[in-house]
Structure 1
Amino acid sequence: MADEQKHWELQLMVEHPTFKKLCHSARTNAPRMHSHDLVFTLLALVKLGVSQNSYVVQTILRVIQERLDEFENEKALSVLSACLIEMKGSKNTDALTQGLKLILEERIPGIQSVMLLHTTMRLFGKDAPLEVKQKLERKALSMMDNFSLANVQYMLDTLAVIHLNSKPLLDICGTKLADNVHSISFTRLMAVLKSCSELRYRNLHLFTSISEYLGSTLSMWSTKQVLLFLLEFKRLHFCPVALMDAFAERIIQKPDSLTLRDLRGVLKSYSFFNHNLKENQQAFLDSVTHVLQSYLSKMSSVDLLKAVSCLCVFGHFPQAPLEKLLQPEILDELLKEEGPSFPQLQRMLRTLDLCLRLDRHTLSPSVSSVPHLHPPPPQSRLGNPALLSILKNLLGEDVVTDSAIAEGHYYIDCVATMPSKTKEDQTVRIALLCAPPTFFCFGTTHPVGAAALTVRHLKLLGYEPVLVPLQELLSQTAEEKTNLLRELIFSAQIECVQDCNVK
């Protein structure tokens, strides 16, 4: 039922002549009602939108508060908790909520109903004392065998609502959801991913199962739904390979079905993940370029810059969009932009300029070059003395230098200049970058778009870039760190030699 129709029907009921008589009857009979009837009457009034300050609602709240110790039925307690969660704060509501919390805290070990457990957790909320959250966590773990698939989905939502990042609970929920992903609706799958994002919880098995399921059933999902999934996966830093491969095939087959909004989402997602479609890569780039060109007359200058910047990640520079973007009036419009987005636009223009120079893309003589923008110094990070010390012990004092800035844009933590072993060999400059987890797609060492662009540009500048996974490095012993760096540097040297041989 549509929201407007629902509101209209509720209004009809409330304005019905006998509705006032019903409310009067509920108010006068409240002291004689059974606890079960009281809470369901309160629930009905709340759902019908009766004012919480009305005489009937306040009377029922006071009666429940006076008889709260008599409430033994778990269903009644669950319904009452659900009502109070939805109700706005007032003197009677707040007093009843506090009283109910005291009773429920004592009864947590004896809870048998999964629904009461859910509503109890939500009633205590994110501000519950740690001790109470731990009690609820233990109780939930003891009841997990009784959870249905719907219970597991609701539990994940509940954990997100109360900010309880319980890895044991989340892992159990994740496994059950992954094993039954084919039975979960679009709305619930989206809710699962959003809850994981809010809890900063990552589960490779769950995410891969969702991606593979969506990829294998792509015909069931609209483009809008797929893009919403990709947005949630982007927030989780997980690259859904199966879904992206299948969706790219749809785009290649029917590029004209994409709206301008769809195109923005596609470019943003695929460039962020730096996803390589292998044999379909060029066909995909040609398809999105075709769509981009068809919308050039309808795009704002900011949207055009964002679209071209996304394609730069793939080293793809379509002529028509570039020519329009680099028109003097478009560049003037971008540089006159004011507001919080202006630094981002400047950064994108500087990156575009770097791409055009380093990738040596030839522009039409009639096209302006990107205006010179005075770049702020790249954000240098605090040096890593432990990393520098290990590298010097591993490679030698004279080989390693601490930090460098390439093209006034890219910060390098350490540079190792490996001398040539023979006259035929070239000197190899290895650029080591301490890479936080945000540099990689979750569960892999595959760099996201911005990191991939840095790697490509450093290669063009004569470096052999090495992304050192910082989180992994910090958790290792000195010997493990040495072995990791030796393996990364050795692999980089081999790759450099292979590239030289190919050339």
Structure 2
Amino acid sequence: MNNKTSFFLWNLRINICSFGSTSFRRTMKVDPLELHKPTLIYQNRTLKNFLFCNSLQKSQSSVRFFCQSMSIFQLEGNEIQKRSLNTLISTSVGKLLHRRQQSFDSQCFLMLHTTPQIDVDGLEKMVVSAEHDLSQKEKQLDFVRHRHLIQQCNSMSDVLDMFSKFPKLSSCRYLITMWKIAKNMSEDQRRFERQLLYEHPAFNQLCNQVMKDAKIVKLQQLMFTLYSLIKIGIPQNTYLIQVLLRVVQIKAIKELNKFTPVNSQHMFGALAAMNYRSVVLLNECSKMVAANIHGCPFWMLINMLQSCKDLQYQNLDLFTAIADYVTTTFDMWKMKQVLGILFHFESLRFRHIDLMNLFLKRVLDESQFLNQKDILCILNIYSSLNHFHECKDQQFFEVITNALNTYLPKLSSLNLLKAVYCFCVLKHFPEEFLNQLFQENIINELLMSDIESEKIEYMLHQVSACLELEDISALKSTAIPLKECSSAPLHSNTLVENILLNILEDKGLFLKNVQLPHNYFVDFELKMDSRRTRVFPISDADAFMADSDILRVALVCVPRNAFCFASTHPRGGLQMKMRHLKALGFHVILVNTLEIKKLDLKAAVTFLKAKIFSPEAFPTATKFAS
């Protein structure tokens, strides 16, 4: 089972990714009619050549076959019982069947004997047995003939026509045949055939039959059936697909104890190919993979991480196991391989400090082997995850800037902007890149671009904010002609507002959705004393703004993806916003909206109160200015 399952999962992922470029390499061996019977053992070659009549059910006439010395030996239990007969009687004369169609009860032998006797009861049993076996052989021939007819179909509608004639044949076989036909069609032809499929009167009947058969067919055949439906183009939100997905899961879970580590590795790709996020399966497979990660090849690590990204699945134990494995075997990996793993970690918001530090050291030693794409990728990873090395930061900036500087004349306007933005996030401002970016023709080209226009606007706004708010005296006079973006908040924070009201008991003690320069806004603003023990009403606090004791506090509600996975470490964009808010005179408090939603009102009040007020405000009761 393990080898077959492993092969299937691997083949499923490869076939979906190449969409019709390869065909199934497995021959499905099914016997839904249970036609295979024990092989007849002949003790005498003369009897093997004996031919029965075709019309055994007719009784109008009879013919005697005289056999000298004939006996029947019947196997009953573990003993052979002997009966004798003189004459073999058949009920009718007709066409002789081919000898390959003759059949006997597999537990009945015929042997030569010296005394001719007649045993009509024994003969009748032989005839009935022959009739039963002949009927089964005919069914088997029908099955083979029907399967052959299905293979001769030229369209999916032809397959449904065949199903209408022979509905008892395996429903899974029909669907697999449909995909074999459809994969050789063009996309337009497949779309037309699919429409005909939906309109065919037998299609609903086949779908119902598939759902009925799903519980009894083997997991492997059911997964091939599901794969065929998806590749044909049946929408994945249909009842049929969802039922099959659940049955494949309610079956796969039962066989998890039979999975090998390789089976578990391939399961990620199989689920991603079906776009089916089964957390139960992914969790169990993650445990198996994490426990057996050593020796896992590079391409499999990349495939699993890509599948996690596609399925929006994150597992700290799995990611840590992969990163630890690469860290402990770091010298055996090529730099581009580690870069590929870090690239996928970044897309999953996972920051592994040891691995990123090790890779940074290698970049310093082997920067001459980096091309333009590598450098831009490294900048994106380290800026996005907001990763700094305490001892190597300045050296890293110098090396990476010099390496990219050789490609500066060849950089496209968009790549130049991305590089400058990443440098700004990392709080590094190389003048040669900034001067190149601020050329009028490059700015105009970026502003007129139709590709990633919103992202371009955002990055230009952030770079412009850096020029004015960061300590870059040489470039402060540079201005970028940007339009103001909408001041409307990106999301509603009604929950946090209600908690604030519960704490402060007065709407006049805070402002919400405060618009700031450089296209920044904060969710809530409070005016507090410098020790953060008291909150002043907004209207009265303005009179005391000359007093240095007044502190502007910004509550910034951030989603989970603003932090690195499974940590409170802010990512690059959020970290830069915090720097700029501090430059504008704010004390910044981050409020993780997901954490707030998990708490009841009482716990949420306690949580937010501890965020807003300093420890000095406790243990005495908090006093608000009236």
Question: Normalising to structure 2: TM-score of the pair?
Answer: 0.62
Correspondence 1:377 to 2:486: yes
Partner of 2:511: 401
Whole-Å separation in 2 of the counterparts to 1:183 and 1:52: 46
Partner of 2:413: 301
Correspondence 1:265 to 2:265: no
Encode CA deviations 1:147-171: one digit per residue, 9 max, x unaligned.
Answer: 2223223332232233332221221
Whole-Å separation in 2 of the counterparts to 1:486 and 1:166: 38
Encode CA deviations 1:448-481: one digit per residue, 9 max, x unaligned.
Answer: 2111111111111111212211122123211121
Partner of 1:345: 456
- Equivalent pair of 1:196/1:202 in contact (CA under 8 Å): yes
Whole-Å separation in 2 of the counterparts to 1:196 and 1:65: 42
Shift of 1:107: 4.0
Correspondence 1:410 to 2:516: no
Whole-Å separation in 1 of the counterparts to 2:485 and 2:518: 8
Read off the aligned partner of 1:123 and give its amino acid letter: S
Read off the aligned partner of 2:604 and give its amino acid letter: K
Partner of 2:220: 115
Correspondence 1:450 to 2:570: no
Shift of 1:372: 3.6
After TM superposition, the structure 1 stretch with the greater mean CA deviation from structure 2, 235-244 or 308-317, is: 235-244
Read off the aligned partner of 1:458 and give its amino acid letter: L
Correspondence 1:359 to 2:470: yes
Correspondence 1:181 to 2:181: no
**Structure 1 pair 245/52, CA: closer, same or farther in 2 (3 Å)?**
farther
Encode CA deviations 1:72-130: one digit per residue, 9 max, x unaligned.
Answer: 9x9x999879857855556999999988866654343344x553353244234335523
Whole-Å separation in 1 of the counterparts to 2:367 and 2:597: 45
Shift of 1:68: 8.0
The percent identity for this pair of structures is 28
Shift of 1:299: 1.4
Specify which of 529, 551, 555 is matched with residue 432 of structure 1: 555
Whole-Å separation in 1 of the counterparts to 2:143 and 2:298: 40
- Equivalent pair of 2:553/2:587 in contact (CA under 8 Å): yes
After TM superposition, the structure 1 stretch with the greater mean CA deviation from structure 2, 459-468 or 177-186, is: 177-186
- Equivalent pair of 2:425/2:576 in contact (CA under 8 Å): yes
Whole-Å separation in 2 of the counterparts to 1:152 and 1:84: 31
Whole-Å separation in 2 of the counterparts to 1:487 and 1:158: 46
Specify which of 88, 106, 119 is matched with residue 212 of structure 2: 106
**Structure 1 pair 253/99, CA: closer, same or farther in 2 (3 Å)?**
farther
- Equivalent pair of 1:101/1:124 in contact (CA under 8 Å): no
Partner of 2:324: 212
Whole-Å separation in 1 of the counterparts to 2:592 and 2:284: 28
Whole-Å separation in 1 of the counterparts to 2:453 and 2:616: 40
Partner of 2:266: 154
- Equivalent pair of 1:105/1:132 in contact (CA under 8 Å): yes
Encode CA deviations 1:477-499: one digit per residue, 9 max, x unaligned.
Answer: 111211221232246999xxxxx
Partner of 1:276: 388
Shift of 1:175: 1.3
**Structure 1 pair 160/330, CA: closer, same or farther in 2 (3 Å)?**
closer
Read off the aligned partner of 2:466 and give its amino acid letter: C
Give the match's secondary structure for 1:268: helix
Whole-Å separation in 2 of the counterparts to 1:60 and 1:383: 53
**Structure 1 pair 101/250, CA: closer, same or farther in 2 (3 Å)?**
farther
Encode CA deviations 1:12-45: one digit per residue, 9 max, x unaligned.
Answer: xxxxxxxxxxxxxxxxxxx979869x79x97xxx
Question: Normalising to structure 1: TM-score of the pair?
Answer: 0.76
Give the match's secondary structure for 1:465: strand
Read off the aligned partner of 2:378 and give its amino acid letter: V
**Structure 1 pair 123/183, CA: closer, same or farther in 2 (3 Å)?**
farther
Encode CA deviations 1:277-325: one digit per residue, 9 max, x unaligned.
Answer: 2322222222211212222122123222210110100111112222322
Specify which of 208, 230, 241 is matched with residue 353 of structure 2: 241
- Equivalent pair of 1:414/1:431 in contact (CA under 8 Å): yes
Whole-Å separation in 2 of the counterparts to 1:333 and 1:114: 56
Encode CA deviations 1:404-425: one digit per residue, 9 max, x unaligned.
Answer: 1221411101012222469998
- Give the aligned CA root-mean-square deviation in angstroms: 4.0
**Structure 1 pair 69/246, CA: closer, same or farther in 2 (3 Å)?**
farther
Read off the aligned partner of 1:294 and give its amino acid letter: T
**Structure 1 pair 219/128, CA: closer, same or farther in 2 (3 Å)?**
farther
Shift of 1:430: 1.8
- Equivalent pair of 1:301/1:334 in contact (CA under 8 Å): yes
- Equivalent pair of 2:159/2:177 in contact (CA under 8 Å): no
- Equivalent pair of 1:267/1:307 in contact (CA under 8 Å): yes
Aligned length: 448
After TM superposition, the structure 1 stretch with the greater mean CA deviation from structure 2, 117-126 or 285-294, is: 117-126
Give the match's secondary structure for 1:182: coil
**Structure 1 pair 61/414, CA: closer, same or farther in 2 (3 Å)?**
closer
**Structure 1 pair 119/449, CA: closer, same or farther in 2 (3 Å)?**
same
Whole-Å separation in 2 of the counterparts to 1:428 and 1:62: 79
Shift of 1:271: 1.1
- Equivalent pair of 1:375/1:409 in contact (CA under 8 Å): yes
Shift of 1:375: 1.8
Read off the aligned partner of 2:450 and give its amino acid letter: G
Shift of 1:369: 0.9
Q: Which runs of 5+ in 2 are unaligned?
A: 1-21, 23-139, 231-235, 534-545, 618-626
Greater CA radius of gyration, 1 or 2? 2
Whole-Å separation in 1 of the counterparts to 2:334 and 2:598: 43
Specify which of 476, 499, 510 is matched with residue 390 of structure 1: 499
- Equivalent pair of 1:85/1:122 in contact (CA under 8 Å): no
Whole-Å separation in 2 of the counterparts to 1:151 and 1:82: 25
- Equivalent pair of 2:414/2:446 in contact (CA under 8 Å): yes
Whole-Å separation in 2 of the counterparts to 1:150 and 1:192: 11
Read off the aligned partner of 1:452 and give its amino acid letter: Q
**Structure 1 pair 160/329, CA: closer, same or farther in 2 (3 Å)?**
closer
The structure whose residues are more often helix, as a share, is 1
Whole-Å separation in 1 of the counterparts to 2:163 and 2:332: 48
Encode CA deviations 1:33-64: one digit per residue, 9 max, x unaligned.
Answer: 9869x79x97xxxxxxxx9959xx99999999
Whole-Å separation in 2 of the counterparts to 1:302 and 1:295: 14
Whole-Å separation in 1 of the counterparts to 2:336 and 2:384: 18
Encode CA deviations 1:124-153: one digit per residue, 9 max, x unaligned.
Answer: 433552333322220121111112223223
- Equivalent pair of 1:208/1:240 in contact (CA under 8 Å): yes
Encode CA deviations 1:165-198: one digit per residue, 9 max, x unaligned.
Answer: 2221221112112222224322222222222222
Whole-Å separation in 2 of the counterparts to 1:131 and 1:249: 51
Read off the aligned partner of 1:401 and give its amino acid letter: L
**Structure 1 pair 78/53, CA: closer, same or farther in 2 (3 Å)?**
closer
Read off the aligned partner of 1:141 and give its amino acid letter: I
- Equivalent pair of 1:238/1:442 in contact (CA under 8 Å): yes
